[in-house]
Amino acid sequence: MSWKKVEFKGSDSVDRLQRIQSLCSSSDPKLDGILIIGGVDSFHSQASQAALKYLFLGNSGQELLGEQVIQQEHERLEDVVLLICPQRVFIFYSSESDAAVKILPVISNWRHVTEYVVHDGMEPDELEERKISAFKSMMTGVKCVGVPFGTDQNGINLQDTMLPEKWPLVQFYGLEGGESSGKGFFTMNHRVVNISQEMMQVMARLDSFSAKRVVQESQPFLAHHFDEFLMKLDHESPDVRNAKSESDLGEDLLSFYEFGTMQYSARGLKTTPSRGSRVLYGVRTRSLTEKSSSKAFLENSGVMEDIPATHMVVQAEDPFTGVRFARTYFLSSGKVCSRVVDEDALVSSPAQSNSDAGKTAVDTKTMIEMYALLLRGFKTGAADLVRECMDGKLASLDRCLESARAEAIHAIVQTDKVESQLLGSNKFPTKFIDDQLSLKAEIMDARGQRVDSLTEGMYLYFLRFCYLYIPMQSGSRFQDEVFRALEAWKVTAAALNISIYRTSDLSEQFEGDTPRDRDAFVGQDARTVDNFFPRDFIPKDPNAVTTLSKPNTEDLSRLIVPVTVMLGIPGSGAQALGQSVCQISSASFEWVTVNVDLRDLELSKQQKMEASGYFEISDKLTRELDQIKSTAKTLRLPPRIMMSIVGYVDPITVVCAIRRAAGNSSLSSKIGAVINCVSATNVYLPDPLATQAPFPKLFDQMTAGFVTHTVLTNSSDVSSAILQRLRFHMDQVNPFADVIVLSHDVFEGPLTPLLAVDRFESAYYKQYRNSHFQDWDSPASNSAAPMYTRYVAELEPTHAPVSYRFEIAPGMDRSKFSYLIAKTLTPFAAMTKAMDRVYPMENKSTKGIRIAQTIAAGKVRQDVQTFAATPYAEGVFSNGQSRSCWCVEGQVVFKDEPGCVYEYRSSGTFARLWVDADHLSIKAGNLPSLELKITGQGLNAEKLRELLLNCYAHAEASPNQIRSKASISLDEKREIQRQHAMDPLPEGYLFDGTNYVDFFGGRYEFHPCIAQFIDEYITAANDDRKATNLKASEERESQQSFVKQLV
């Protein structure tokens, strides 16, 4: 059976991932994670290979049994390493291989994914090194890990936990290096539990995709074989068919099932007596456990010895899925025509009248009528069973069967009253159907094996109704043509139960071609919405409502304040974009800005950013709502709130926090739009090899159903290949959001979509959230931090970044800042080339701020090669990692331009410096407070402060030493004597032009008072040095206040 007919999507893999994640909490002991290693690094572990095919290729059922070989076109899947934790997933893969075409659409639908990425252009040694490093990193903090390393012949887990130690990748765990803090072998640092059996059981369950394959693959496949069986019978004459035994007649169907079950025993599968294909005649149909016999013919299978069988049962089964199809065929109509005998015929007919047909005619007719009633009851009962199971109102499957059986009996009785009128007679009393009718449901997994209990996630498909929805403009020619065609379909549509709705029948309001989602419409006809719009689809809204009526200041109970959310990770520019939207639309709305930068939290709270951010966002919004209410009577324009949030936080956390604030405030509010801000230069972690591993929470902040819009900035600063991959990834994560792509970080077109006031609360978004995120906004999740729900996960402490804030004084040296911050702290950040491309120096027509930006770029392009290797950056990264700085953002004033404020932003891969347009031409005494925020992993706050201090022009670091007589050199002594050459000589001394001569004839090279002259010289020099040292000391003390860490 070909499995490629049904497309496997990322949304299908989400359910499968959650099933495997459930093993972490259901296993004994509970697991911190499940490790899946593919390919040769796990010696092609059968369970690991099956898990990769299960998650990425959509394989299911019997395809996951036996030896698992990944096809050559997907062989790079064998390089994947997965660590599946209860709420997080870590994955290692190649971003440019053919496998990425399968991997990326799948993991884009997963949540809380940490990616370790390599590309095919790397050297083999570098690839292996990265894989080992990624494996060690993802295992950090994991104590008990589940590893599927095999089962015995009986399907029982192997108990030798040392078997994984033989795997090549696991053997590298003991090598020094990497990010692992553990010492020794893998099993010395982690408790290993074999979960092969449990994982195979989970993958054997019937899920939505497996059920879809049953409907779209197995049923047509089985129908094809059954049609071939009937066509073969049609080509046989009646005499030949009547002479065949049961096994001869069903030879094709029997061989089809037997061939499919040849490997059942090797795969550990079982066949029950009721399973399989069969053909049964007459009385042998009383039990479907009978097998087709080569000795059973029509003539010896009747109710009596001399009466042949009047009917037969044909059952066909698909051996791969267990889908069965059975039909009952009657070999007689139950009516016997009188034989006409021509007495004048010259030759009499040799045919004899069949007296047996007359004997069985009445019974055959009765059986046909009863069978017709049974078919009507089966159809009704099956429909009721599907409906009850899908609704989930009844507690168990037995209750559903009881309800379905009652409906079937009712349908049979009602039909009999109109048509057959068999029931209620002496032969068939009223309770006959109740006593004889039996309704059973056999529960099977994806392999076609019977299971004892009904597991969660039972999927039933009943294709009965067909709905047609055509949006059109009233009174148009297109409308007339469509309804003329529908009138022609009317008779056929009624017979096929096709419901036809007109615009007036739906009681919905239209704007253009888009139905408006008013609460009255949703409540009035919610079932119609559910039928028309699938739960996995959110249509675009080109005519979004962006206007608000003038506020009624007299009745504040009717005032509802829309909240627009701008959400982004550090370096995305979310706050700046929010301010731009407010400024552009300030003539239409009274904007109130609420800026929440989660980097401002205490370090301990940053480690729990979801929980801390939840209360921080909620409290700030509550205060603003109360403030709006207190000043509501002075409002002239409709009030709106622009909430800009920066941090590694989930949009579900943000929305729950806003809901909490709305409940705590007396002023009503609603979420209008949730906008995710992404900078194309702030997507991937800094890496010298450009492996394109995304920042944490980046794609979680695009979650479908919560994020309504995405703004992608700086698209011109990256290559087309990177931009194409990013757009593809974004579309896979959230295909329903309206995407606005900007060349830089300024809006170049209309902002109408971003001003929507009801997009988040539309019926489509509500339906999608209720389907995929059930109970996300329940009171339990609003009263406590949503980190405790299954939809939001905190970053692991070992992988969570921290941010440090520093208040800096004006006067930094431009060259030192460029070298120490832009080059040393973020060595992989491209700055000069990007600035040349965006703001070319040769562009003579640049004006205003462009000139300032160009000048800033030019001044930064100074020769920094004069700086020798300095120890300034040593110790900045406390854990020794040189790639841990993720974002540097803030304001700076340089010494050579004391009145100009520059904005600096570096994402680790791209750095930009530009003039702050809001602070142009400011006097040096009126400069605003400057703040610099540094985000990363393993940062040392004190060393960062020293690094920033080194960006200033310091006084002499080492003090001048106090001099003594012994430090005076001969040259200095002669210079001192030269300065005192004209001084008078003491008594008894004279100078002969060369030497000094005393009264006794002694000759001297130096002046008799040279000792006094040296003392005076040293005293003067030491006084100057003391003054210089004092001034330098005072300068050094004052410079310590240039950089202050903010807590």
Asked if residue 844 has pLDDT above 60, the reply is no
More confident site: 5 or 659: 659
Rounded to the nearest 5°, which phi and psi values hold at 609?
-70, -30
| For helices 397-418 and 355-391, angle between their N-to-C axes, nearest 10 degrees | 130
Rounded to the nearest 5°, which phi and psi values hold at 964?
-125, 175
Range 507-517 average pLDDT: 42
Q: Domain 562-788's class? A: alpha beta
CA atoms of 682 and 717, how far apart (whole Å): 11
User: Residue with structure tokens 């109704």?
Assistant: 465
Asked if residue 806 has pLDDT above 90, the reply is yes
pLDDT of residue 994: 82
Cis bond before residue 29 (omega within 30° of 0): yes
- How does residue 601 score in pLDDT terms, banded at 50, 70 and 90? very high
Rounded to the nearest 5°, which phi and psi values hold at 652?
-65, -40
pLDDT of residue 285: 87
Asked if residue 651 has pLDDT above 90, the reply is yes
Task: Look at the chain and count its residues.
Answer: 1047
Asked if residue 824 has pLDDT above 90, the reply is no
Asked if residue 780 has pLDDT above 70, the reply is no
- How does residue 868 score in pLDDT terms, banded at 50, 70 and 90? very low
pLDDT of residue 839: 34
**Which of 884, 924, 877, 931 has the alpha carbon at shortest distance from 904?**
931
Give the whole-number percent of the chain exceeding pLDDT 90. 23
More confident site: 982 or 343: 982
pLDDT of residue 923: 61
Asked if residue 628 has pLDDT above 50, the reply is yes
DSSP 8-state code for residue 157:
B
The residues near 888 (Cβ < 8 Å, ≥ 6 apart) are 821, 825, 826, 904, 905, 906, 911, 932, 933, 934, 935
Among 456-460, 607-611, 963-967, name the one with the lowest average pLDDT: 456-460
**Which of 869, 883, 856 has the alpha carbon at shortest distance from 819?**
869
The residues near 475 (Cβ < 8 Å, ≥ 6 apart) are none
Residue 887, beta-bridge partner list: 935
- How does residue 258 score in pLDDT terms, banded at 50, 70 and 90? confident
pLDDT of residue 759: 92
Q: For 924-971, what is each residue's pLDDT tens digit?
A: 566 778 899 999 988 888 889 888 888 887 655 556 778 888 888 888
Where does the chain hold its CATH 3.40.50.300 domain(s)? 562-788
Q: For 261-277, what is each residue's pLDDT tens digit?
A: 887 877 778 788 878 88
User: Residue with structure tokens 């064998």?
Assistant: 78
Asked if residue 349 has pLDDT above 80, the reply is no
Among 550-564, 645-659, 797-811, name the one with the lowest average pLDDT: 550-564
How many CA atoms does the CB half-sphere of 935 hold within 13 Å? Answer: 30
- Please give the helix or strand (H or E) that residue 990 lies within, else none: strand 989-991
- How does residue 887 score in pLDDT terms, banded at 50, 70 and 90? very high
Range 875-898 average pLDDT: 76
pLDDT of residue 650: 94
SS3 content of the chain, % helix, strand, coil (to 5): 45, 15, 40
Direct distance between the N- and C-terminal alpha carbons of the chain, in angstroms, rounded to an integer: 64
More confident site: 292 or 218: 292
Does residue 384 contact residue 334 with C-beta atoms inside 8 Å?
no
CA atoms of 290 and 494, how far apart (whole Å): 42
pLDDT of residue 931: 92
Q: How many helices (H) and strands (E) does the chain have?
A: 34, 28
518 SS3 class: coil
Asked if residue 217 has pLDDT above 90, the reply is no
Instruction: Give the predicted TM-score (pTM) of the model.
Output: 0.75
Q: Exposure pattern of 902-929 as b/e (b: 16+ CB <10 Å)?
A: bbbbbbbbbbbbbbbeebeebeeeebee
Which of the residue ranges 20-24, 490-494, 505-509 has the most confident prediction, judged by mean pLDDT? 20-24
Other residues' Cβ atoms within 10 Å of the Cβ of residue 608 = 17
**Which of 544, 593, 587, 537 has the alpha carbon at shortest distance from 564?**
593
193 SS3 class: strand
pLDDT of residue 341: 66
Q: Report CA-CA distances (Å) from 983 to 197, 540, 753, 990, 1009.
A: 107, 100, 93, 12, 10
Structure tokens at 328: 């009952």
- Rama region for 573: left / alpha / beta (φ>0; ψ in -120 to 50; rest): left
Range 491-518 average pLDDT: 48
Q: For 311-330, what is each residue's pLDDT tens digit?
A: 899 999 888 888 888 888 88
- Please give the helix or strand (H or E) that residue 37 lies within, else none: strand 33-37
- How does residue 510 score in pLDDT terms, banded at 50, 70 and 90? very low
Residue 94, beta-bridge partner list: 118
Other residues' Cβ atoms within 10 Å of the Cβ of residue 1040 = 10
- How does residue 381 score in pLDDT terms, banded at 50, 70 and 90? confident
CA atoms of 96 and 191, how far apart (whole Å): 34
Burial class from Cβ neighbours inside 10 Å (0-12, 13-18, 19+) for residue 441 reads middle
Q: Which CATH number, 3.40.50.2000, 3.30.420.40, 3.40.350.10, 3.90.1640.30, labels domain 10-203?
A: 3.40.350.10
- How does residue 5 score in pLDDT terms, banded at 50, 70 and 90? low
Does residue 506 contact residue 528 with C-beta atoms inside 8 Å?
yes
pLDDT of residue 706: 94
CA atoms of 4 and 9, how far apart (whole Å): 12
Asked if residue 499 has pLDDT above 70, the reply is no
Range 153-165 average pLDDT: 89
DSSP 8-state code for residue 360:
H
Among 128-132, 827-831, 1009-1013, name the one with the lowest average pLDDT: 827-831
pLDDT of residue 862: 38
Report the mean per-residue pLDDT for the chain: 79
Where does the chain hold its CATH 3.40.350.10 domain(s)? 10-203
Q: For 722-734, what is each residue's pLDDT tens digit?
A: 898 899 999 999 9
**Which of 1007, 1015, 1018 has the alpha carbon at shortest distance from 984?**
1007
